[in-house]
Amino acid sequence: MGSVQYQYAIIWFALGVTLIVPLLIFVRYNVNVDKTKPVENSNIVLLSSEETLGKIITRENNLGWNILDEETCQAKDNFVLKKILPLNVPIYIYNPNEDVHISRMIFNSGTWETPLVDKVVEAMKLHPEAVFIDIGANIGMYSMTMAALGYRVIAVDCNIENVMRLCASARKANVTNKMSIIHNGISDKRSVLRLIKSTEPNVGGMGVEQISSTSNITHNLTANAILLDDLLEIFPIKSAIIKMDVEKHEDEILKGAKVFFEKVKVETVLLEFRFHAKDETGKFIIDFFDKYGLAPDLSKLVNASDYSTWPGDLIWSRKK
C-alpha cells in the first residue's frame, strides 16, 4: 500500500513540475517586460542591460536590438591614442588633420569643452545614481570622463566610426563595466537617416536627413533612427542626466521622448541651443522642458524673456 502511495506522490510531483515551471517562466518574463516601455511588436528582440556593457548595440527597426560583431570594438591602425585631462583617460581620436576641431583639440591639449564637461561632472556628483546619457557622443569626451569617474553611461551616436573608437577607448580605459554604446540616431520617429559629411574636415559637423530607403547608399553613410523612448525597452533607467549635441536636431529628439520624460526623472540636460535661439524650435524646447519641470540656467547676463539672446550651450536643471 505504501508503495502505491509513493508512486502516486511521484506522479503528482511530476505533474506539478510540468504545470508550475512554465507558469513561473511566464510570470518572470512578464515582470521583466513590465519594467520597460511596452514594445509595439511582440516579436521585437530585446537585450538585458547587462548584456550591453562594453558592447556596441543597435536597434534595427521592426526587428529589435542586437550586438555588433566583436571586431567593431577593436582598435584600428588609423585610430590615434591620446589621453584626456585631468584624469589621463585613454581615448582613441581621429587624425587631427581629418578632424580639425574635437580630435585636434584633444591631440594638442587633452581637453574639449572643459567648462561644460565640468558642469556635467558637478551634476553627476549631485545625482550619482543617475545614468549619464550622451546623445551625439562623438568620440566620447563626455562619456569617457563620466565612465572613468564611475558613473553609468549610455553613449549614442549614428556615426559607426565614432562608436568604434568609443568602444575601443572603453576597453583601453577598463571602463566597459560602466558603458553601453548605441549605434543609432535618435529622432521623432523610427526611420533611416542618411549621414551628410561636413564640407570641412570636421567629424562633429556631420549632418543627417531622414530618407525612405537605403537603396544605392553605402552602409557607412546610413543609420537607423530610434526614439529616446526606445531606450526604456532594455535599460531600467530611473533618473538621468542628458547631454544632447546633434547639430540642429535636438527638438526632433524631444518630440520622440515623451514617454521617457514621463517615466524617468531627468535631473539635468546640457543642450546645444545655438541653432534654436532664433527659431520657433527654441520655443518648443523651452516649453517641453518646462512641462517636465526643467528650467534653463540663465545666470549669465541675458534677457530671460528673449531666448534669441541665450547662450549657445545651455543647461536645464530640475526646478527646486
More confident residue, 211 or 204: 211
Give the three cell numbers for residue 212: 525612405
Q: Which of 60, 133, 121 is nearest to 87 (CA)?
A: 121
* C-alpha cell belonging to residue 197: 559629411
Query: What is the CB neighbour count within 10 angstroms for residue 45?
Result: 13
Tell me, what's the pLDDT at 36? 34
Confidence category of residue 5, pLDDT binned at 50, 70, 90 = low
Confidence of residue 11 (pLDDT cuts 50, 70, 90): low
Residue 213 has pLDDT above 60, yes or no: no
Sign of CA dihedral 73, 74, 76, 82: positive
* pLDDT (tens digit per residue) in 38-70: 455 556 788 999 999 999 999 998 789 999 999
Percent of the chain with pLDDT over 90: 68
What band does 28 get if pLDDT is binned at 50, 70 and 90?
Answer: very low
**Cell numbers 572643459 label which residue?**
114
The amino acid at residue 124 is: M
Quickly state the pLDDT bin for 186 (edges 50, 70, 90).
Answer: very high
Structure letter (DSSP) for residue 45: B
Please state, for a pLDDT cut of 70, what percent of the chain lies above it.
80
pLDDT given at position 17: 47
Strands 56-60 and 179-183: parallel
Which ranges in the chain belong to alpha helices (H)?
2-34, 102-109, 114-126, 141-148, 160-172, 250-255, 258-263, 280-291
Give the predicted TM-score (pTM) of the model. 0.83
Strand (E) or helix (H) holding 132: strand 131-135
Residue 2's pLDDT band, with cuts at 50, 70 and 90, is low
Task: Report the pLDDT averaged over residues 146-171.
Answer: 98
Q: Where do we find the cell 505504501?
A: 2
How confident is the model at residue 3, as a pLDDT?
Answer: 57
Q: Which three cell numbers stand for residue 34?
A: 513590465
- Write out pLDDT tens, residues 123-146: 999 999 999 999 999 999 999 999
3-state secondary structure of 174: coil
Average pLDDT over residues 268-286: 94
Task: Report whether 207 contacts 223 (CB < 8 A).
Answer: no
